[in-house]
Amino acid sequence: MEFDKEVDATGLNCPLPILRCKKGLSELGASQVLKVISTDAGSVKDFNAFCVQTGHELLQLDEDETSFTFYIKKRAN
């Protein structure tokens, strides 16, 4: 999937992946896509809740044995 910015939150635990995501999204324009890589198992639930609460769109979630990769589309203002 194409993206406009990447945030690497590997090795960080809640709430740091979400905080890094918020910072990354603040640097993007409306409808641009942020890629976030996290190793925190709780981040799946956290990012789903974050997107519902903020209006950003979780486009895709990829998982492997060690990490989760989220593609989040910034909401239109």
State yes or no: pLDDT of 76 exceeds 80: yes
Q: CATH class for domain 5-73?
A: alpha beta
Contacts of 52 (CB under 8 A, 6+ apart): none
Instruction: Describe the crossing of helices 43-54 and 16-26 by its angle, rounded to 10 degrees.
Output: 40
Residues tagged active-site? 14
C-alpha to C-alpha distances, 42 to 19, 24, 62, nearest whole angstrom = 14, 19, 14
- Where exactly are the structural domains of the chain? 5-73
| Residue in 34, 4, 41 with CA at minimum distance from that of residue 20 | 34
pLDDT tens digit sequence for 14-53: 999 999 999 999 999 999 999 999 999 999 999 999 999 9
pLDDT at 77: 74
